[in-house]
Amino acid sequence: MTDVHRQMPLPLISHWVNNVRSIVSTELDAYGEGLVRAAQMVATELAENVVRYGEAAEGTESGMIVLDVTAGMLEIRSSNGASEAKAKYVLAAVARLQDESAEELYLERMKSMLSDSSDRFSQLGLIRIVYEGGFSIHAAYEDSTLKIVARREVS
């Protein structure tokens, strides 16, 4: 029998999510504490969803968070591979956020969590982006990739 030696580097999830918070803070420092905190929250919630629910797709094994400020608009975008079933769930959640009160959806989800402990995908992160962050949110699914865009004007 031959000896076996194989190194398998693993990403340190909390390190990378903390990295996202740190980068957002640095890049948006000139826009004031309020926007920095909101953007950190949005980027963190999207990043956590990427690492928690993202799947390998199209030959890639990582997701992405993009931060853009252009012409007075702040955009934070996430993309990751996802199954059709997961994407459908997220698209439905985002559609509700576009049509209904984020505050009421947040309260509804909190009550649902208490009554059904098996309900593990809380959607609270997405809801919080709108309710607390004041961002609009949009989602699309194409070529096995789920893309979410959060937008907010920068005053």
Partner 1 sequence: MRQELVADGLLLKASIEGKHVAVTWLGQSVSATPGTEIVPFFEKLAAHYDGGALRLDFRELEYMNSSSVRPIIELIQAANQTETEVEILYRSTIHWQRLTFKLLEMLAKEWKHVRVVS
In whole angstroms, the minimum distance from the beta carbon of 85 to partner 1 comes to 21
Residue from the set 31, 113, 121, 136 that interacts with partner 1 by CB under 8 A:
113
- Interacting span for partner 1 (CB under 8 A) from 43-51, 62-70, 74-82, 88-96: 43-51
- Cα separation of 81 and 118, whole Å? 24
For 28-53, give one letter per residue: b (16+ CB within 10 A) or e.
beeeeeebbbbbbbbbbbbbbbbbeb
In whole angstroms, the minimum distance from the beta carbon of 92 to partner 1 comes to 18
- Of 116, 147, 132, 134, nearest in space to 74 by CA: 134
In whole angstroms, the minimum distance from the beta carbon of 86 to partner 1 comes to 17
Instruction: With CB under 8 A as the rule, give the number of residues binding partner 1.
Output: 30
Is residue 56 close enough to count as binding partner 1 by CB under 8 A?
A: no
